[in-house]
Amino acid sequence: MNEPVIRIENVSRWYGEVLGVCGVTLQVAPGITGLLGPNGAGKSTLLKLITGQIRASHGRVFVLGEPVWNNFRLNRRLGFCPEHDSFYEEMTGLGFLSYLCRLSGWSHQGARERAAQLLARVGLAYAADRALGKYSKGMRQRAKIAQSLIHDPELLVMDEPLTGADPIARRDLLSIIRSLAAEGRGVIFSSHVLHEVEELTTTVVLMHQGKVIAEGDFREIRELINSQPHRVFLRCDRPRDMAERLLRMPHVSTVEFHEAGDGLTVLTRDARQFYTALPGVVLDLGARVDHVESPDDNLGAIFRYLVRE
């Protein structure tokens, strides 16, 4: 169970003079992994390398312990949800999935049963007989997830699976992805939206300009850069007394009062020491603290710092 589902060794891929990914070395463990980066960071290229759609210009890619390039047997163990739609628009959802099931070796009756089962799994049973061309964006995303599950794959590779979905569809898609991982499948998905990744997993791969700039648990990554200034918002009933005490701490750089007079923003060079000492300060003062929040303790702050560096 501890074996990586994906192993990438010093992989580069270029398109003429354009470098898609550069010198990527990476191991992806079982569970959900978020591949994060802005548009053009190299996420789609990396996923195409993982699924064997393109060949690495340099280096090697292994998936589920096997080399991926020109390995057609491995296709039966992988499911791919592409970023862009590739539907026969006039076909119904049931007809489209049944057709793909037949291509995967199912009998005519078995294909229809499997297709109906998958449509129900992704919440599209009500639209089984509707033409795909009349599906909304969220419905089309569900249909792509359904087609990636036809052959019951061990690993799901999903390229921007939440793009264009409305809030309700997005919530349902997140639930579907979580349930797929809970069944023991590996899931790697790309996104350029930070909070989407945070809602699904803490395990991330951050990409920028074709390179992996960080990987692992984003909370551990944040620990590694804790020497950088860390902002903390406090809402309390005695902001001036609180500020006076906090400024005595050697790791606190500045304290700013909120205009509303109900709190302050602290800039600390050591977040761990700050959070350890804060309860004692509150108890000594007898103050009431209603809210503590750090805008720097999230993926967005980590990514902005790493890209800036």
Q: Using an 8 Å Cβ cutoff, are 13 and 185 in contact?
A: no
pLDDT tens, position by position, 109-146: 999 999 999 999 999 999 999 999 999 988 999 999 99
Q: Using an 8 Å Cβ cutoff, are 215 and 240 in contact?
A: no
Instruction: Specify the pTM.
Output: 0.74
Average pLDDT in the 81-86 region?
88
What's the pLDDT score for residue 172? 86
Mean of pLDDT over the chain:
87
Q: How far apart are CA 61 and CA 48, in angstroms?
A: 11
Q: Using an 8 Å Cβ cutoff, are 240 and 258 in contact?
A: no
Query: What would the 3-class secondary structure string for the chain be?
Result: CCCCCEEEEEEEEEECCEEEEEEEEEEECCCEEEEECCCCCCHHHHHHHHCCCCCCCEEEEEECCEECCCCHHHHHHEEEECCCCCCCCCCEHHHHHHHHHHHCCCCHHHHHHHHHHHHHHCCCHHHCCCEHHHCCHHHHHHHHHHHHCCCCCCEEEEECCCCCCCHHHHHHHHHHHHHHHHCCCEEEEEECCHHHHHHHCCEEEEEECCEEEEEEEHHHHHHHCCCCCEEEEEEECCHHHHHHHHCCCCCEEEEEECCCCCEEEEEECCHHHHHHHHHHHHHHHCCCEEEEECCCCCHHHHHHHHHHC
Contacts of 103 by beta carbon, 8 Å cutoff, 6+ apart = none
The token pair that represents 78 in the structure block:
């992988």
Q: How far apart are CA 118 and CA 65, in angstroms?
A: 28
Work out whether the CA dihedral 227, 230, 236, 239 comes out positive or negative.
positive
pLDDT above 60 for 1: no
Q: Using an 8 Å Cβ cutoff, are 8 and 53 in contact?
A: no
pLDDT tens, position by position, 156-215: 999 988 887 777 788 888 888 899 889 888 999 988 777 778 788 889 898 888 999 888
pLDDT tens, position by position, 241-270: 989 999 998 888 899 998 877 889 998 887
What's the pLDDT score for residue 127? 95
